[in-house]
Structure 1
């Protein structure tokens, strides 16, 4: 149907629906782009507002459009049209961890979640501006000799109160006494592992899984056994059951909400099976909950909400949902909580009081919730644009479609070696995160993690467009 063509009176909403559908299929409006406004569609096609809204709502119900308040309708990703990764890790005996020097190189370049290996100045987002104001007010409220005293090891009571309310809204009725403030999620995970494991113990991890956990296991001289995961449902419970039957596993580290690198969301049935296995095998479950607040839809309940036997140690921070520079996290230590408080005291002593108070105010006045709502739309748009870029490649790919988190997991054709491509990409000013970094067994050589944490500006788009040449024809 051409520009300005008037629709017939019969089934007018259906004709408009078909016209919009063809426009999406022909990429007149690409993934993540905004459709013409309701007013514009009414004028162009001579339709009532109710008729146009009905057609748009039918497309939204099919998952083709997303309605954004005060912004309009946007072309939405259709997960069913994206081929999901299928690579599976084989179950191997526990082994010590030896973290790759390549990971340290990526971290030194501050590019773990970026294709560009340097910082660039830009305007601060509204949420960060509001956070800075809250922290500034907390600093100005310091009086007398406050600066001469340490905070209590558990952390600021006001921040723990706000965190407990935030967790309660997600389904876990936490109280401040169950929480301890840490210097980020990595610190929380470190305390959790120290509290429930000793040198030489076996720890089960997701594979592919978070390389930061592998770093901690190496430092603590723990052994690791890798458990296969699915990009849809996370850790394979049947595989975990097999692992627990074969080896004396002391702890299991999982990310039920949007595990990196795949972005998997563990379903309720798997969560219940995990807790049953933990009880059967006397297992500590360490929940890495750091990505939950990046949810593109409703915030998922923490696994901790199902914990009836004090076996789940919940760890998280603000670094993925708010600011990497904040370095504030928290841990709920379950039956190991007193041990964790002691370890916090001897390893960090205390956290910054005014920083905690500023963040507590930021949460209390609703600024954090506002930030998360804004971030949800931004991340969805960036994810969809990234997947649209990848689908345009001339080779067949498998790509995860996470409902949260900051990255997708890309499976390239067999024979592609992302590890070998790293130095070639670096020569072109592009930093990739090869798949083998997410395993201790050297698997996933034809995979990589790609982040959508940053806006797709000209530099990142150019770097992304270089990848087919670097990875597939290098």
Structure 2
């Protein structure tokens, strides 16, 4: 009876701390050793109290990290804003996007805040690249890489993708200068000026930039912030207009981290065959999965219609500028287009990254990153839930950002200059559409630690966007 009382006492104390927000969602609780010392309890008693709270869904045990306050889907209202289907139109991207990119603020509220130590994975990567550079021989520097890219890197990518459920030969892969370059090649290979391309809405603004530069028209397909593109809406679009290509991100699409279930994926591929459609898969966020890494859509492609595009920029380093593409029935044309747009990639950079993957360092980096991203996501959502007003927030299982739907009447475009005057950069919702929708929405990234300065930036945003009273 005495031991029962002790573990219940600790359980009540921890529960009260969670309810009073002594620990926010995503926060790590004191270690078992600390709790034993603080409360004068045995290890078994402390573990029993923690396990009871875990069974109630209030705590989450993470291997080698401890117990964390769990984030529940029930505690977060999912955004409900949906785009409307409109006729295809030319694309004009707002100059505001250029301003955000000039400030390097696509994934940070405070881009001028360069704090923290270099992650161990990046240190290891730098050493791998340095070793590759030191291995240069003779006049190697006077020769270009092969058009498809370094065979060693393509071999490592093939093995990496095999672990995700897709068996691909290295001859089906081509190295690019990032995912944006891969998407550019895919559009050039499948479309001509004036063609119509279907995109997610809200969706990736970088795609809209490419469509504008290539003189392509866009039709926006309503997209769920949790399950991705509405395939029924796409089917309606395909019945009404001749669409040449469809760009989708089945795994954790930006801006809200949607994950497309298997049935819609299969329906999408069936529609592609029925309507002679190229599917361009933006797979860049898959490796940021907080749990199980989803298979690529390409793994289900029986018709050779899916062009897979990805890179290391979201899972490893923005500065690396190495991506890849598998071009399906358009692959040879894509390799020729790469010669025109890039000519070749750095062999030594590719060799360094290949070594980094081969020795297990990339896998270790991803494991560490997933723990960090989950904690940062939970901390961000906990802070947002404290804002006044009726906020709706996505709960992504991967990716680097949440989609925030603010109360009606809030205009994130109008708020941009005021936030900027106070030192904070936001990414307004209308940037993720060509039709001016989502004015009361914004994307917020959790790719950086929530230190004191960034928490202060969130508090500034709260005052700017949803002021009290």
TM-score by length of 1: 0.95
SS in 1 for 2:244: strand
* Partner Cα distance (2:449, 2:37) in 1: 33
Counterpart for residue 181 of structure 2: 187
2:161 matched to 1:167?
yes
**Structure-2 change in CA distance of 1:282 and 1:141 (3 Å):** same
Report deviation, 1:54: 3.8
* Partner Cα distance (1:399, 1:142) in 2: 50
Report deviation, 1:117: 3.8
Match of 1:405 among 373, 377, 399: 399
Counterpart for residue 278 of structure 1: 272
* Partner Cα distance (2:183, 2:256) in 1: 20
Counterpart for residue 240 of structure 1: 234
Once the two structures are superposed, the pairs formed by residues 88-103 of structure 1 within 5 Å of their partners are 88-103=82-97
Counterpart for residue 417 of structure 2: 423
Asked whether the equivalents of residues 231 and 400 of structure 1 are also in contact (C-alpha less than 8 Å), the reply is yes
Kindly provide the CA deviation profile for residues 302-361 of structure 1, in whole angstroms up to 9, marking residues without a partner as x. 111111111110000000111110000000101110110010011111000000000000
**Structure-2 change in CA distance of 1:36 and 1:120 (3 Å):** closer
Counterpart for residue 3 of structure 1: none
Unaligned runs of 5+ in 1: 1-6
Asked whether the equivalents of residues 117 and 429 of structure 1 are also in contact (C-alpha less than 8 Å), the reply is no
Asked whether the equivalents of residues 251 and 260 of structure 2 are also in contact (C-alpha less than 8 Å), the reply is yes
SS in 1 for 2:235: helix
Structure 1 vs Structure 2 CA RMSD? 1.7
Counterpart for residue 391 of structure 1: 385
Range 230-239 or range 14-23, more displaced: 14-23
Unaligned runs of 5+ in 2: none
Counterpart for residue 472 of structure 1: 466
Match of 1:8 among 2, 27, 32: 2
* Partner Cα distance (1:51, 1:279) in 2: 60
Kindly provide the CA deviation profile for residues 376-406 of structure 1, in whole angstroms up to 9, marking residues without a partner as x. 1111111111111111112210000101111
Report deviation, 1:56: 2.4
Match of 1:204 among 198, 208, 217: 198
Report deviation, 1:15: 5.8
**Structure-2 change in CA distance of 1:19 and 1:169 (3 Å):** same
**Structure-2 change in CA distance of 1:393 and 1:344 (3 Å):** same
Once the two structures are superposed, the pairs formed by residues 352-391 of structure 1 within 5 Å of their partners are 352-391=346-385
Kindly provide the CA deviation profile for residues 409-465 of structure 1, in whole angstroms up to 9, marking residues without a partner as x. 000011111001111111111111000000000000000001111111222222111
* Partner Cα distance (1:15, 1:131) in 2: 48
Match of 1:339 among 306, 312, 333: 333
* Partner Cα distance (2:84, 2:281) in 1: 23
Report deviation, 1:14: 5.7
Range 432-441 or range 228-237, more displaced: 228-237
Range 456-465 or range 53-62, more displaced: 53-62
* Partner Cα distance (1:52, 1:241) in 2: 55
Match of 1:85 among 75, 79, 83: 79
* Partner Cα distance (2:8, 2:296) in 1: 42
**Structure-2 change in CA distance of 1:452 and 1:280 (3 Å):** same
* Partner Cα distance (1:117, 1:308) in 2: 43
Kindly provide the CA deviation profile for residues 100-122 of structure 1, in whole angstroms up to 9, marking residues without a partner as x. 01111111111111112426264
* Partner Cα distance (1:306, 1:145) in 2: 44
Asked whether the equivalents of residues 312 and 323 of structure 2 are also in contact (C-alpha less than 8 Å), the reply is yes
Counterpart for residue 139 of structure 1: 133
TM-score by length of 2: 0.96
Asked whether the equivalents of residues 186 and 280 of structure 2 are also in contact (C-alpha less than 8 Å), the reply is yes
Range 166-175 or range 356-365, more displaced: 166-175
**Structure-2 change in CA distance of 1:396 and 1:191 (3 Å):** same
Once the two structures are superposed, the pairs formed by residues 320-331 of structure 1 within 5 Å of their partners are 320-331=314-325
